[in-house]
Amino acid sequence: MIFEGTQEREERAIRIDTVEGPIEGLLYISPQLRTLDDLNLSKRFVTVYSPQTTTIRWDFSDRALSIAKTSVLFVRELAAPSVRPNKRFSNFSRSRIRIRVRDHEVEGFCHVPPGGAPMKRLENGEHPFISLTTVLVTGPDGEVTVPFLAVNRAHITAVLELGLAEEDDDAATVSVTATEA
């Protein structure tokens, strides 16, 4: 698909949970970028096409909606993310953490480099969003399990480290190589 000029773009269905409520729509981003990479670009807004919501009282009129990244709590892909092997993350370990983001509890795996710790990864990040994999999100609308969640560090109010995961799990390797930045 050609979108916004001559650069090739890929369509990804996402749900963005904001401080005002959830918005679903489409992102058009470079096929070479992961959703996390696109969110961590220096732009102040994330643009969603064909936006829909059931909780926010505002008529979007099927136009492109630009959402201030400062209002984004977290983002999930509505279709399973494609697996793109990345040797840069092949030796990362998984550490289960539970975080509080407004009225949501998020439990999932934070991927850390050798000798690293999840708290260091959360504190020292240069990007606004960090990814978690194999995630359980519990909030006012119930529970949902997702393979990937990009969480805005600015809205994390508390973190509980739950421990390292066993690395003999094939899912650990797939999630590290596919989604973590």
Check whether residue 123 and residue 158 sit in a common domain. yes
Burial of 174 (0-12, 13-18, 19+ CB in 10 A): middle
Structure confidence by residue, pLDDT tens digits, 118-146: 888 888 778 999 999 999 999 998 999 99
Number of DSSP helices (H) and strands (E) in the chain, helices first: 3, 10
Structure confidence by residue, pLDDT tens digits, 93-115: 889 999 999 999 999 999 888 87
0.75 exceeded by pTM:
yes
β-strand pairing of 72-77 with 65-68: unpaired
User: In this structure, is residue 16 part of a structural domain?
Assistant: yes
Check whether residue 32 and residue 107 sit in a common domain. no
Residue-number span of the structural domain to which 27 is assigned: 10-77
Check whether residue 174 and residue 91 sit in a common domain. yes
CA distance linking residue 105 with residue 159, whole number of Å: 10
Check whether residue 106 and residue 164 sit in a common domain. yes
Last residue of a domain, one of 28, 57, 77: 77
Last residue of a domain, one of 27, 45, 77: 77
Q: Minimal CA–CA distance to 48: which of 78, 12, 76, 84?
A: 12
Check whether residue 95 and residue 159 sit in a common domain. yes
Check whether residue 70 and residue 135 sit in a common domain. no
